[in-house]
A and B are shown apart, each in its own frame.
Chain A
Amino acid sequence: MKRKIENLLLEFARIHRFMMRFLREVVSPPYEFKEIIRQCYEIGWKSFPLISLTGFIVGFVFTKQSRPSLEEFGATSWLPKLISIAIVRALAPLVTALIGSGKVGSQIGAELSSMNVTEQIDAMEVSGTNPTKFLVSTRILATTTMIPVLCFYVAGIGLLGGYLSIAGKDDLSFLAFFTQVFEAIAAKDIFAMVLRAVVFGFTIGFTSSYIGYYSSKGTEGVGKAANAAVVASMFLVFIEELLIVQILSLVG
Chain B
Amino acid sequence: MEKSKANINYDDVVIHVDKVSKSFGDLHVLRDVDLKLYNRENLVVLGRSGTGKSVLIKLISGLLNPDRGDITVLGEVVNRLTDKELRALRQRIGFSFQNSALYDSMTVRENLEFPLVRNKRNLSRAEIDREVEEVLEGVGLSRAINQMPSELSGGQRKRIGIARTLILRPDIMLYDEPTAGLDPITCLDINSLINEVQERYNTSSIIITHDLACAKMIGDRMVMLLDGKFERQGSFAEIFDTDDERVRPFYDYNFIV
Q: Does A120 contact B (CB under 8 A)?
A: yes
Nearest-neighbor residue (CB-CB) of B120 within chain A: A128
The answer to whether A119 and B118 touch across the interface, beta carbons within 8 angstroms, is no
Among listed B45-53, B95-103, B213-221, B243-251, interface-contacting one = B95-103
Other 14 A-B pairs with CB < 8 A, given A127-B164, A134-B118: A119-B97, A120-B102, A120-B104, A122-B58, A123-B101, A123-B164, A126-B61, A126-B62, A126-B63, A127-B90, A127-B95, A127-B115, A127-B119, A129-B118
- Residue of A30, A125, A128 with highest tally of chain B CB at under 10 A: A128
The answer to whether A127 and B168 touch across the interface, beta carbons within 8 angstroms, is yes
Nearest-neighbor residue (CB-CB) of A30 within chain B: B121
**Binary interface profile of A, 108-142, with partner B (CB < 8 Å = 1, else 0)?**
00010011001110111111111000100000000
The answer to whether A125 and B63 touch across the interface, beta carbons within 8 angstroms, is yes
Q: Which residues of B contact A114 (CB under 8 A)?
A: 104
**Binary interface profile of B, 49-90, with partner A (CB < 8 Å = 1, else 0)?**
000000000100111000000000000000000010001101
Q: Which residues of A contact B99 (CB under 8 A)?
A: 118-119
The answer to whether A127 and B63 touch across the interface, beta carbons within 8 angstroms, is no
The answer to whether B95 and A123 touch across the interface, beta carbons within 8 angstroms, is yes
The answer to whether B104 and A128 touch across the interface, beta carbons within 8 angstroms, is no
Q: How far apart are the CA atoms of A134 and B87 in the complex, in Å? A: 14
Q: Does B114 contact A (CB under 8 A)?
A: yes
Interchain Cβ contacts under 8 Å between A and B, 6 examples? A122-B101, A126-B61, A127-B119, A128-B88, A128-B115, A129-B118
* Minimal beta-carbon separation of A7 from chain B (angstroms): 11
- Residue of A120, A125, A130 with highest tally of chain B CB at under 10 A: A120
Q: Which residues of B contact A134 (CB under 8 A)?
A: 118
Q: How far apart are the CA atoms of A119 and B165 in the complex, in Å? A: 14
Q: Does B93 contact A (CB under 8 A)?
A: yes
Nearest-neighbor residue (CB-CB) of B88 within chain A: A128
* Minimal beta-carbon separation of A115 from chain B (angstroms): 8
A contact residues, range: 10 to 19
The interface on chain B, measured as residues whose beta carbon lies within 8 A of the other chain's beta carbons, has a size of: 27
Q: How far apart are the CA atoms of A119 and B90 in the complex, in Å? A: 16
Q: Which residues of A contact B (CB under 8 A)?
A: 30, 111, 114-115, 118-120, 122-130, 134
Q: Does B142 contact A (CB under 8 A)?
A: no
Known contacts being A127-B115, A127-B168, A129-B115, is A122 close to B63, with CB within 8 Å? yes
- Residue of A114, A124, A127 with highest tally of chain B CB at under 10 A: A127
Q: Does B156 contact A (CB under 8 A)?
A: no
Q: Does B91 contact A (CB under 8 A)?
A: yes
The answer to whether A127 and B83 touch across the interface, beta carbons within 8 angstroms, is no
**Binary interface profile of B, 212-233, with partner A (CB < 8 Å = 1, else 0)?**
0000000000000000000000
The answer to whether B114 and A129 touch across the interface, beta carbons within 8 angstroms, is yes
Q: How far apart are the CA atoms of A185 and B99 in the complex, in Å? A: 56
Q: Which residues of A contact B164 (CB under 8 A)?
A: 123, 127
Q: How far apart are the CA atoms of A114 and B104 in the complex, in Å? A: 10
Q: How far apart are the CA atoms of A115 and B102 in the complex, in Å? A: 9
Q: Which residues of A contact B63 (CB under 8 A)?
A: 122, 125-126
* Minimal beta-carbon separation of B52 from chain A (angstroms): 16
* Minimal beta-carbon separation of A211 from chain B (angstroms): 19
Nearest-neighbor residue (CB-CB) of A32 within chain B: B118
The answer to whether B90 and A118 touch across the interface, beta carbons within 8 angstroms, is no
Q: Which residues of A contact B91 (CB under 8 A)?
A: 127-128
Q: How far apart are the CA atoms of A84 and B138 in the complex, in Å? A: 64
* Minimal beta-carbon separation of A21 from chain B (angstroms): 10
